[in-house]
Structure 1
Amino acid sequence: MLQQIYPAAVHPYEYELNKDLQFAAAHYVPSEGAGKCRYVHGHTYYANITIAGDTLDESGFLVNFALIKQLIHGRFDHTLLNDDTKLFSNSNPAQFPTTEVVARIIYELVQEHLNERPNKPQCVQVFLRETPTSYCIYRPKRKEAST
């Protein structure tokens, strides 16, 4: 993968890591408004996942890069995204496999894993490039601290 500068997520944490990965997947967007994207087609997606935190784990990692790759590449590479009916839907627009939704779902999968880590790192940004000229960024809204 070529080196690339990604838009930075602002966060208060001491450590930040970024994992670049790619996966090949097909999809279709089941909506009349999607134009040609209504039909099955494929992309080589390029993702950058930004994770931040203040505490390293017992191995000295914020999180092991290999775990992040396994979560995403292992799940999506060489698949038809629409077939994953646990994550995507052909009837709910909020779950159509658009670039925006795929970026959000990558965040959800990563954060679900991070929530189980004793050092509690946070996924602060998912950058997902679908084509050489089109990408999406998903940044979760910050939750206000309870008082």
Structure 2
Amino acid sequence: MTIYKQFVFDAAHYLPHVPEGHKCKQIHGHTYHLTVFVTGDLQDKEGWIMDFTDLKAAVKPVIDQLDHAFLNNIDGLENPTAELLSKWIWDKIHVQLPGLRKIELKETPTSGVIYEG
């Protein structure tokens, strides 16, 4: 069984390696939507895979670091594409969430990435 929790954060960035004239070469911002999926066995006593409060607690420090930040200034995110940002988030949270199955990071309502580690 898989559960999920959604998070939202706002951040600015630019993509330094795109060609000159590309609109993403300029500093701009997004309202990111992150969905974290955790898979596990249903615990008979509690009736859940894990407490949503525990899931939120594992992800919150990362969201706090990213929210209203300039992503290019965060260590390891010099080229903060959606793909590299999703990998960076995964690397930060997978230890606290042993059942982490995948994350979905939307940069816009119609564009995003799914990362499965």
- Give the TM-score taking structure 2 as reference length: 0.81
Which residue is equivalent to 1:16? 2
Take 1:83 and 1:70, find their aligned partners in 2: how far apart are those partners? 19
Q: Does 1:70 align with 2:60?
A: yes
Which residue is equivalent to 2:13? 27
Take 2:18 and 2:106, find their aligned partners in 1: how far apart are those partners? 23
Report sequence identity in percent: 31
Which residue is equivalent to 1:8? none
Amino acid at match of 1:45: Y
Q: Which runs of 4+ in 1 moved over 3 A?
A: none
- Give the TM-score taking structure 1 as reference length: 0.66
RMSD of aligned alpha carbons: 2.1
Take 2:100 and 2:56, find their aligned partners in 1: how far apart are those partners? 15
- Unaligned 5+ segments in structure 1 are 1-14, 90-95, 115-120, 141-147
Higher relative contact order (CA 8 A, sep 6+): 2
Which residue is equivalent to 1:102? 85
- Unaligned 5+ segments in structure 2 are none
Residues 40-95 of structure 1: CA deviation (Å, up to 9, x unaligned) = 10000001011122376xx876251331341332110000011112x212xxxxxx
Take 1:23 and 1:68, find their aligned partners in 2: how far apart are those partners? 16
Aligned residue-pair number:
111
Structure 1 residues 71 and 33, CA, compared in 2 at 3 Å: closer, same or farther? same
Q: For 2:108, which of 131, 135, 142 is the aligned residue?
A: 131
